[in-house]
Amino acid sequence: MNVNEFEKKQILFAFLNQGEKVSFSNDNIVIKDAEGKIKHQSTCYRLFAVFICGHMTVTSGLIERSHRFGFPIILMSTSLKVYEFIGGKMEGNVVLRKYQYAYDKLDLAKHILLNKLMNQRTLLNLQRVKSEEVKNSISQIDGYLQGLKEYVGDDVQTMLGFEGSTARVYFKNHFNNIPWQGRKPRIKADFVNSTLDIGYTILFNFIDSLLNVYGFDVYCGVLHRQFYMRKSLVCDLVEPFRPLIDRQVKKAINLGQCKAEDFALINHKYLLEWKHNPQYVSFLLQPLLENKREIFLYVQSFYRAFMKQKEAEAFPVFDLR
């Protein structure tokens, strides 16, 4: 797939209510309501990925078309947790996987972390009116960036220490429009952390789908090391793009699109109510669609550089600006 083909592709999120069905007709994917009326119809030729939230029946026709047209079907629970990934994978890229399994350096890990920290710094610097605290935080991040650049050791935990130090000053100064309680992944301690988790999940699956276009072993990472059933390479490549989600969440809070009333507090966790899922996915997906060409080229360039065994400096960089 080239970039021009990718730009014409569509990403479909389907939120299925009781009695609604997904079917196919003349190479079109069709979503019907409980009365059999068509809610949505798209040609399979234009699909890049299909996300289905809610309960559905998987048929052989669904799986066959997924393979024939090369799009994955990602099944998600009502809480947007992925539980199955069907079709849409490139199989048999043996040379690429040999290179992945043989790679044992940390230069790519450092390259990816530098890109992430650079974009976090950029996002703070884009604030029109900067308080002294924000200015000081930018200076601190400059120090962490310099420290990471100059680090020549082989301890990934030391490099992650620079990332953690940056995160502590970055998040509280980015989300300075609310009482910020700290970034707490997956704990869902407040509605902002829950919204970030949703956004990062969408980003994760977007990157996952792109990596599968090229046949990567997504469980074999360069920064996040191998851990049972963790897609470490996907975790790696989402890092430079996280500030896209961070910026969109802050914007949504300012516009009143994202608010605590949309969440239910269950077992000390803020969980988004089902009826609000389409709205949240819509605004969180927006920055990814606006930057989909750049994201595609990043993954494509990463693949080409990996296949040519290039030095880390030749690997792609995503610039938030």
Residues 11 and 285: beta-carbon distance below 8 Å: yes
**pLDDT value of position 150:** 96
- Please report the pLDDT score of residue 132 as a whole number: 95
pLDDT mean across residues, the chain: 91
Residues 11-49 pLDDT 10s: 888 888 777 888 888 888 888 888 888 888 989 999 998
What integer is the mean pLDDT of 125-143? 95
pTM of the model: 0.88
Q: Which of the four pLDDT bands, split at 50, 70 and 90, describes residue 96?
A: very high
Structure confidence at residue 200 (pLDDT): 96
When pLDDT is averaged across residues 264-275 and rounded to a whole number, the result is 92
Asked if pLDDT for residue 263 goes beyond 90, the answer is yes
Sign of the CA dihedral running 89, 296, 82, 218: positive
pLDDT given for residue 225 in this prediction: 82
